Chain A
């Protein structure tokens, strides 16, 4: 008798759980529909807007066109985090990136320092509009964990770089307005304002300086949700690789509101190393070093 009731209980609860999950899935699916409609609506009206929008988009597209076809790259990253008292701490990572036709890039970041996170790997399949797909490999447990990626505005490794700052910069993630031309230390620049499409972005807008000669990003001002200037990112020591692709040796991010700053130094750039899709598969995180 007892056995029967217990089995029924369990099945009832299991059914309730399954129903709850199904309902939640349905709710989430329904919930995303209007959001997408709204996004394309905003993009549509901005594009159709003014000549400034069209020219802003032109600059962004030209910058992207010049970086098309890099196929894949590997690089070493050193982050130096500085608080307002000048105390420093260092993070060392290695970056592997795969260019994906028609979608956002795939990136894996392998952590080497601090020692306690050594061997941890962060895999990101970025998308042009949708949320990125992200996995974390935790070497102590040998566990690959899919993580919620909606937190774009949070800090990366305690630094002044947010996840959205280091993620693949796709054209579709912003709407653009041409602000003007400006000479910075005698070098002519285009100045573009871009507004993140995603309402979960930490920024209302960004102002981007491109040098006119090579369409390289030289500076970005980030404005927070209250439209106050939050951070400035500057790019230093551009080098050209495989006769086409420009990459900065050093990126300096300064937070004007907290006085903290982060230097991100890049080294050992290699392009077209022959990485494949399987090197960016969540299953192969187990072998990554």
Chain B
């Protein structure tokens, strides 16, 4: 059924987009996941199929100076009702002058330089049902003023409206150990503010940011939701000051993200730093090989959770090592693989992501995530049986 829907959708879009190529673009994706190990709960499936789409409508006038961008997103999932969802990733108006830009509406902003974790990237809420890697984000209401100066770029944000994180339902795989009570969530502030200075000094790209608002990553309380134990997310008001730094020279990119945050218990510090070393054009094949290593640290103490101590973050003391291979061929074949090792507990999260173009308008990717040697007090314990393989086919218009 989903197949038929997808193909019909594609055949309807194709002629439409030819007429409106500059206005409409985007992609439709069919995704299949298989979980080789038996689930923890009987209602969790061994395989899922889902269909998602992210069209973008872009209107511009005044010689490109003003524009309107609208990017809705939907996913239909065969098993998890929480994963079946609709979002507006972007719906914003933009205007710019010689040395300033203004954006207003729902938007998406990325800060940071590292690969294993996007530590300082705080403006948008994570759409966690999409992928456990946390790279998918919900649209955030914002007014953003950008000032371009000789001494750097200043970004000022007013962020009215808070978005709660999405969580996989208990009838889906990759769920938290207990159901999330998302009807009674605690959000301390609805309005947030942020400021950022960014500058390039030769080989160095440097950003310093401050954020004041409700934390995007919640702390949890164990409560009884209709008698059964559940996790209650609490989004507390935080002040977070952060730094992101990259030194790019020769084949090396040295990266550091660091932050200090107050408002969630004691003030704490966290950092992620490391390098990416690129060997270009290996043996004149055209392929590039990147070698990556990053160390993640966090000063937060373990927290008492029910009857045990658990880590406050998945990245408390974790080493990421990985490798990136880009063939730079006509099909743009890419491969990224690696492991995040918890240096305290020895738990390992493994991943492999490959992608390739098929013809002109299709791409396919294959992804494997494995959770090995998990510890009952570690963050991976809840997904210890949820290692999976995922195949996606994308149609781009």
Determine whether A65 belongs to the interface, using a CB cutoff of 8 Å to chain B: no
Query: Which residue of A113, A158, A202 contacts B331 across the interface (Cβ within 8 Å)?
Result: A158
Q: A213 vs B269: C-alpha distance in the bound complex, in angstroms?
A: 66
- The answer to whether residues A289 and B64 also contact, given A7-B299, A143-B110 and a CB cut-off of 8 A, is yes
Query: Which residue of A10, A115, A225 contacts B299 across the interface (Cβ within 8 Å)?
Result: A10
Interface stretch among A44-52, A144-152, A185-193, A231-239? A144-152
Asked if A278 and B281 make an inter-chain contact with CB atoms under 8 angstroms apart, the answer reads: no
Asked if B275 and A158 make an inter-chain contact with CB atoms under 8 angstroms apart, the answer reads: no
Asked if B284 and A21 make an inter-chain contact with CB atoms under 8 angstroms apart, the answer reads: no
Residues of A within 8 A of B295 (CB): 13, 17
- The answer to whether residues A276 and B98 also contact, given A90-B360, A283-B198 and a CB cut-off of 8 A, is yes
Asked if B280 and A151 make an inter-chain contact with CB atoms under 8 angstroms apart, the answer reads: yes
Residues of B within 8 A of A83 (CB): 330
Determine whether A85 belongs to the interface, using a CB cutoff of 8 Å to chain B: no
Residues of A within 8 A of B299 (CB): 6-7, 10
Centre residue among B200, B248, B295 by max chain A CB count within 10 A: B248
Determine whether B273 belongs to the interface, using a CB cutoff of 8 Å to chain A: yes
Determine whether A154 belongs to the interface, using a CB cutoff of 8 Å to chain B: yes
Q: A107 vs B299: C-alpha distance in the bound complex, in angstroms?
A: 43
Asked if A21 and B253 make an inter-chain contact with CB atoms under 8 angstroms apart, the answer reads: no
Q: A143 vs B331: C-alpha distance in the bound complex, in angstroms?
A: 22
Q: A202 vs B248: C-alpha distance in the bound complex, in angstroms?
A: 21
Determine whether B361 belongs to the interface, using a CB cutoff of 8 Å to chain A: yes
Query: Which residue of A2, A32, A146 contacts B253 across the interface (Cβ within 8 Å)?
Result: A146
Q: A224 vs B286: C-alpha distance in the bound complex, in angstroms?
A: 13
B residues 45-64 near A (Cβ < 8 Å) are: 58, 60, 64
Residues of A within 8 A of B301 (CB): 2-3, 6
A residues 240-289 near B (Cβ < 8 Å) are: 276, 278, 281-284, 287, 289
Determine whether B205 belongs to the interface, using a CB cutoff of 8 Å to chain A: yes
Residues of A within 8 A of B298 (CB): 10
Q: A267 vs B202: C-alpha distance in the bound complex, in angstroms?
A: 33
A82 CB, nearest partner CB in chain B, Å: 10
Q: A47 vs B96: C-alpha distance in the bound complex, in angstroms?
A: 48
A92 CB, nearest partner CB in chain B, Å: 10
A260 CB, nearest partner CB in chain B, Å: 9
Asked if B148 and A154 make an inter-chain contact with CB atoms under 8 angstroms apart, the answer reads: no
- The answer to whether residues A154 and B250 also contact, given A114-B360, A118-B396 and a CB cut-off of 8 A, is no
Asked if A158 and B330 make an inter-chain contact with CB atoms under 8 angstroms apart, the answer reads: yes
From B64, which residue of chain A is reached at the shortest CB distance? A289
* Count of chain A residues near B, Cβ 8 A: 56
Determine whether B108 belongs to the interface, using a CB cutoff of 8 Å to chain A: yes
Determine whether B182 belongs to the interface, using a CB cutoff of 8 Å to chain A: no
From B276, which residue of chain A is reached at the shortest CB distance? A148
Residues of B within 8 A of A61 (CB): none
Residues of B within 8 A of A3 (CB): 301
A141 CB, nearest partner CB in chain B, Å: 6
Asked if A155 and B286 make an inter-chain contact with CB atoms under 8 angstroms apart, the answer reads: yes
Residues of B within 8 A of A119 (CB): 25
Residues of A within 8 A of B200 (CB): 133, 282
Asked if A158 and B250 make an inter-chain contact with CB atoms under 8 angstroms apart, the answer reads: no
Determine whether B195 belongs to the interface, using a CB cutoff of 8 Å to chain A: no
Determine whether A89 belongs to the interface, using a CB cutoff of 8 Å to chain B: yes
Q: A158 vs B334: C-alpha distance in the bound complex, in angstroms?
A: 12
Asked if A142 and B110 make an inter-chain contact with CB atoms under 8 angstroms apart, the answer reads: yes
B147 CB, nearest partner CB in chain A, Å: 10
B residues 110-162 near A (Cβ < 8 Å) are: 110, 112-113, 135, 146, 148, 153
From A134, which residue of chain B is reached at the shortest CB distance? B248
Q: A139 vs B188: C-alpha distance in the bound complex, in angstroms?
A: 32
Asked if B252 and A284 make an inter-chain contact with CB atoms under 8 angstroms apart, the answer reads: no
Asked if B148 and A148 make an inter-chain contact with CB atoms under 8 angstroms apart, the answer reads: no
Residues of A within 8 A of B247 (CB): 21, 25
Determine whether B251 belongs to the interface, using a CB cutoff of 8 Å to chain A: yes
From A224, which residue of chain B is reached at the shortest CB distance? B284
Q: A81 vs B360: C-alpha distance in the bound complex, in angstroms?
A: 12
From B54, which residue of chain A is reached at the shortest CB distance? A140
Q: A156 vs B9: C-alpha distance in the bound complex, in angstroms?
A: 33
Query: Which residue of B58, B60, B153, B360 contacts A115 across the interface (Cβ within 8 Å)?
Result: B360
B residues 294-329 near A (Cβ < 8 Å) are: 295, 297-299, 301, 317, 328-329
Q: What sequence of 0s and 1s flags, for each residue 184-225 of chain A, a beta carbon within 8 Å of any chain B beta carbon?
A: 000000000000000010100000000000000000000011
Residues of A within 8 A of B67 (CB): 289
Asked if A283 and B148 make an inter-chain contact with CB atoms under 8 angstroms apart, the answer reads: yes
Q: A32 vs B295: C-alpha distance in the bound complex, in angstroms?
A: 27
Asked if B250 and A131 make an inter-chain contact with CB atoms under 8 angstroms apart, the answer reads: yes
Residues of A within 8 A of B284 (CB): 153, 202, 224-225
Centre residue among B27, B250, B298 by max chain A CB count within 10 A: B250
From B299, which residue of chain A is reached at the shortest CB distance? A10
Determine whether B374 belongs to the interface, using a CB cutoff of 8 Å to chain A: no
- The answer to whether residues A148 and B250 also contact, given A154-B281, A158-B331, A278-B148 and a CB cut-off of 8 A, is yes
Q: What sequence of 0s and 1s flags, for each residue 230-271 of chain B, a beta carbon within 8 Å of any chain A beta carbon?
A: 000000000000000011111111101000000000000101
Residues of A within 8 A of B135 (CB): 141
Asked if B286 and A154 make an inter-chain contact with CB atoms under 8 angstroms apart, the answer reads: yes
Q: What sequence of 0s and 1s flags, for each residue 73-93 of chain A, a beta carbon within 8 Å of any chain B beta carbon?
A: 000000001010000011000
A residues 10-47 near B (Cβ < 8 Å) are: 10, 13-14, 17, 21, 24-25, 28, 31-32
Residues of A within 8 A of B99 (CB): 278
15 A-B pairs (CB sep. < 8 Å): A2-B301, A6-B299, A10-B299, A114-B396, A116-B361, A141-B110, A148-B248, A150-B250, A151-B251, A151-B281, A158-B332, A224-B284, A278-B148, A282-B200, A284-B148
Which residues of chain B have a CB within 8 Å of any CB of chain A? Answer: 25, 27, 58, 60, 64, 67, 94, 96, 98-99, 101, 108-110, 112-113, 135, 146, 148, 153, 198, 200, 202-203, 205, 246-254, 256, 269, 271, 273, 275-276, 278, 280-281, 284, 286, 288, 295, 297-299, 301, 317, 328-332, 357, 360-361, 363, 394, 396-397
Which residues of chain A have a CB within 8 Å of any CB of chain B? Answer: 2-3, 6-7, 9-10, 13-14, 17, 21, 24-25, 28, 31-32, 81, 83, 89-90, 113-119, 131, 133, 141-155, 158, 200, 202, 224-225, 276, 278, 281-284, 287, 289
